[in-house]
A and B are shown apart, each in its own frame.
Chain A
Amino acid sequence: MYTAAVFLPLIGSFIAGILTFAGGVANEKTKKKIDRGSQLATVGAMLLAAVAATFAFIDIVVHANTGNVELFTWVSSGTLEFSWALRGDTLALVMLLMVTWISSMIHIYSIGYMSHDKSIPRFMAYLSLFTFFMLMLVTSNNLVQLFFGWEGVGLASYLLIGFWYEKQSACAAAIKAFVVNRVGDFGFVLGIFATFVLFDSISFDTIFGLAEDKSQATMSVFGGDFHALTVICLMLFVGAMGKSAQLGLHTWLPDAMEGPTPVSALIHAATMVTAGVFMVARLSPLFEYSDTALTVVTVVGGSTAIFAATVGCVQNDIKRVIAYSTCSQLGYMFFALGVSAYSAGVFHLVTHAFFKALLFLGAGSVIHAMSDEQDMRNMGGLWRLIPVTYVLMWIGSLALAGVWPFSGFYSKDTILESAWGAGTEVGYYAFWMGIGAAFLTAFYSWRLLIMTFHGESRADEVTLAHVHESPKVMILPLIFLAMGALFVGFLTFDFFVGQHTKSFWGNSLLILDSHPALENAHQSPLWVILLPSVAGVSGITLAYLMYMLAPDLPAALASGFQRTYRFLLNKWYFDELYDRIFVRPCFLLGHGFWKSGDGALIDGVGPDGVASAVRDIARRASALQSGFLYHYAFAMLLGVAALITWFLVARG
């Protein structure tokens, strides 16, 4: 079951991939059939995988059967030995279940959303491939297999973000995502190397078993001795920052909106960005022994949460608003991990997956209805025209804002309470950042809702005339996700973070007794419990006031606080900063190497230089041939004279 759940998407992707090549030569009618075939194959495989994952979950988690699956030996070289294997513990199975189901919904939704696209099989193949790599990542039993899935996800995201490769901006976004992720991956690779140096193994079972013994070990880096586990964890965390778009390495995430909307949903909800969170949770037995690393994780998470929320407040592109909200929510997950509330982080990961997928696909439904318009300033008053989408977006926003009894409420509150419960300075920092972010989250969510669905319509008449509710194939997955956004938090709270948490997670997460954040969370003071909800409600109220009752106020504020507004609109100038510091010097350096290094030096001295030298010598050599007899005779005599002289001198 377990194996089937992981590999079915690969098979679906493979079939669709082959159909892609067949589609190139087919005529209109067979192309339709091929499109249909690829959709059936991938969606069918995906749904089967989801069902298989459900059974595997019941088998392994509920009935507590052993679930490790050894596929075959991958590398056996010296002391480095590891296999392709599936790790059967609660964390892997939770992720498996979540990824397969959400991905299935996105697959189904894509049938409708991409129906007018000209390369459907290619899209479906990429989508399934993306899912497969994510499954590989979450089920791996060693760091290298994890890295395989990690890189595979990076590859698939590159292909999908640049899916409409005729668009200049899509290509640029795809490259940006790939390059920024490379930076993180470099840290990840170094972390894997360091792990092998310290533990002489990269299998989870071995390193987790040895972690306690090695908790005092040191490692020499750049001449200084550092706490080994801190070094390893920080390196690995750099990888997680890249994948999960944490502050500093977040710049690719908003640009990734260039891909088709189902891709955005997949990247933001189920796969890719959650990989970093998953990885830290998976490696909790290492992180637990490094307080420094945990502190860094908390600070980065808290800062990202507030940063992304502020930027989200002023964006006008409907997908970008949601993108920054993802970034912000990932910040929550990270500071939950940072205060050792791993289960809370994963809990939020799962609930977030549902409502974020819902929001994205809902936004996709809006965009679909508006004939590919994404700017909220050109929307408004849509709620009458697309009521189902409207309701679904409300559910998603309520869950995101953390309003009771939606899923987001349970997970977000647990995280904030844990941050408070950690009782450390960084914990408090994260808590207040989280409260601020909660307020802003509610604000921009309702800003989005109001700008899109309420007020006077600002769209042109042609667009407006075409506005229509999305087909069933798009709406049904949304309803499924909405159910998730409504009930998942309430239903699973006890297992993830409530009273059954210990027995539910088994030994897949490790929390030392010195890190009691989650236990303290359940005994938080009343104001800590109420504050997030208060913040959320006041955010909603403020948005309602500003955009519903006094629609001129935002513009007045923007012009009144020109600087702040620009600062936020330009995303704290991160892109500009990176452009100055990294991109442009790199271009200059590259240009320099190209023109002077390669062009002038290597080509000039190498191929071109040799060629022109040969031509020059050739001209001189043929110029020797004057055609005059006496020149020739003279040359012969000269030759003899020279040879004899040489001979006599050499003979000495």
Chain B
Amino acid sequence: MPETAFPNLIPALPEIFLAVAAMLLLMIGVFSREELAARTAGYGSVIVLIVAIVFVGLVAEGRVLTFGGAFVTDPFAVFVKVMTLIAAAAAILMSRSYLEDHKINRFEFPVLVLLAALGMLMMVSANDLIALYLGLELQSLALYVIASFQRDSTRSAEAGLKYFVLGAVASGLLLYGMTLVYGFSGTTNFDVLEKLFADSNAGAPVGVIVGVVFIIAGLAFKISAVPFHMWTPDVYEGAPTPVTALLAVAPKIAAMGLFIRVMTGPFGDLSGQWQQIIIFISIASMVLGAFAAINQKNIKRLMAYSSIGHMGYALIGLAVAGQTGSPAVQSDGLHGMLVYLAIYMVMNLGTFACILLMKKDGRMMEDINDLAGLSKTNPALAAVLTIFMFSMAGIPPLAGFLGKLYVFQSAIQAELFGLAIIGVLASVVGAFYYLRIVKVMYFDQPEDGLDGPISFEMKSILGVMGVVILLFIFLPGPLLSGAEAASAALLPG
């Protein structure tokens, strides 16, 4: 391939479109009145994200490499990208009234979300360690900024700063791991690395192993898995709630996608080495997520531990994918994991929409006890939140139950019984704090009701998410087949 050949841009069309659109909205914002700019950027960015989803769908056609093999699109990338973009769009939609209330409704917010989304898409499509790093940093930098978007609030600033410093440490670990891998193998390209490890009979050199551990640590930070989770509760609590909603979903899904690609792709043949680590991280996350959440009074902190736990459940799928010997079981693991992530996305977006509605006299409420008696003051909202909580706790027949069922089932098939048993036990403990929220809403005496009325965007988000969770059991086909295709694309044969 001649160096000068112009790369094929079609596979990267969604990313290119996002980049151009983000810059365009930035320009519009800079050169127009503040109020108009914010509104244009807000709705514009949602439209841009929707169009990007369309583009992702359009370019989906088998596995295509471009940019000298550093960028890849395949059904897996498409699946994860669509989820990421939906999550980002929903986060922007939810944010408007919050931003207005707190007088921080600036056009930069949606633009930064777009840039973060761009970074996420690049992460998902990365087929080279350098591309991976570029995407990761782009989304991280954008997120650091919006975490401290509420500049007047010390809590928001503290959250942003903590996220930034710890993120930098994680980046350092990642980069260090990448240099080790490059140093011992001589390449950064995933395909070449995969071939290398597949061909060598002696196994990978120690340096590569150490490098892989560092890379795992860096990625585990992004999905806030134990023991790299410490930033999560603080940042979730301090960041403006719509940002938390974004942080809890979109980057998690993208980073999980990246995690899967890295582990099953270039390092797939080293699974004997990393599977133990994933199992450990998975168990630690499930257990900590279950126990630490019990003591929380702030609902955002609680959601932070909840997402730590959910990442642990999702990682079961990755651990199963590391079980060499049976491709069918490996594929089941990935399949379960992707379904789990999709359901996680829906549940979390719905829950955060509810949290964003916890307003009294124009002020945001974050204490769980502020939900007391919600069933009497706002029965519809209480019912919807109950659906989400039951689903998170994994109670049949809601979607959350099926998600857990798939990953546990794959763990059983892979004969990882310990993992499955601990997972079930952890979800029993976890059920406690989800159900406590339901109890507070239905059995405690109401104080003042929450502010109404609920805006159209919120209503539609809550409605759609609630219906998906409720009715998933009747119509799981589309999601399952999408996840099927996605997981099939990753595994050889």
Contacts and interface: CB of A to CB of B under 8 A. Distances in A.
A binds B: yes
Interface residues of A, number: 28
B299 to A, nearest CB: 15
B291 A629 contact: no
Given A614-B291, A618-B291, A629-B162, A639 B228 contact: yes
A621 B161 CA distance: 24
A629 B432 CA distance: 30
A635 B161 CA distance: 18
B294 interface: yes
Contacts of A550: none
B234 A644 contact: no
A647 B210 contact: yes
Interface string B161-186: 11001100110010000000000000
Interface stretch (B8-16, B214-222, B384-392, B410-418): B214-222
Contacts of A643: 213, 216-217, 277, 280
Given A614-B294, A647-B277, A632 B230 contact: yes
A636 B206 contact: no
Interface size class of B (residues with CB under 8 A): 20 to 34
Contacts, number: 84
A633 B291 contact: no
B378 interface: no
A642 B206 CA distance: 16
B296 interface: yes
A615 B161 CA distance: 32
Contact of A633 (B165, B214, B234, B280): B165
Interface string A603-628: 00000000000110111011011010
A367 B276 CA distance: 85
Given A636-B166, A647-B277, A621 B217 contact: no
Nearest to B226: A639
B233 interface: yes
A625 B294 contact: no
B429 interface: yes
B165 A622 contact: no
A624 to B, nearest CB: 8
Contacts of B213: 640, 643-644, 647
Main secondary structure of the interface of A (DSSP, over half): helix
Find the residue from A622, A627, A640 having the highest chain B CB count within 10 A: A640
Interface string A496-536: 00000000000000000000000000000000000000000
Contacts of B166: 629, 632-633, 636
Contact of A625 (B165, B173, B216, B234): B234
Contacts of B209: 647-648, 651
A644 to B, nearest CB: 5
A622 B295 contact: yes
B320 interface: no
A217 interface: no
Contact of B230 (A619, A636, A640): A636
Nearest to B177: A640
B288 interface: yes
Interface string B395-435: 00000000000000000000000000000000001001000
B173 A640 contact: yes
Nearest to B284: A639
Nearest to A625: B233
B273 interface: yes
A631 B166 CA distance: 11
26 contacts: A614-B291, A614-B429, A615-B294, A617-B291, A618-B291, A618-B292, A621-B291, A621-B292, A622-B295, A622-B296, A624-B230, A624-B292, A625-B230, A625-B292, A627-B234, A629-B166, A632-B166, A632-B231, A635-B230, A636-B166, A636-B169, A636-B230, A639-B228, A647-B210, A647-B277, A648-B206
Interface of B: 161-162, 165-166, 169-170, 173, 206, 209-210, 213-214, 216-217, 221, 227-228, 230-231, 233-234, 273, 276-277, 280, 288, 291-296, 429, 432
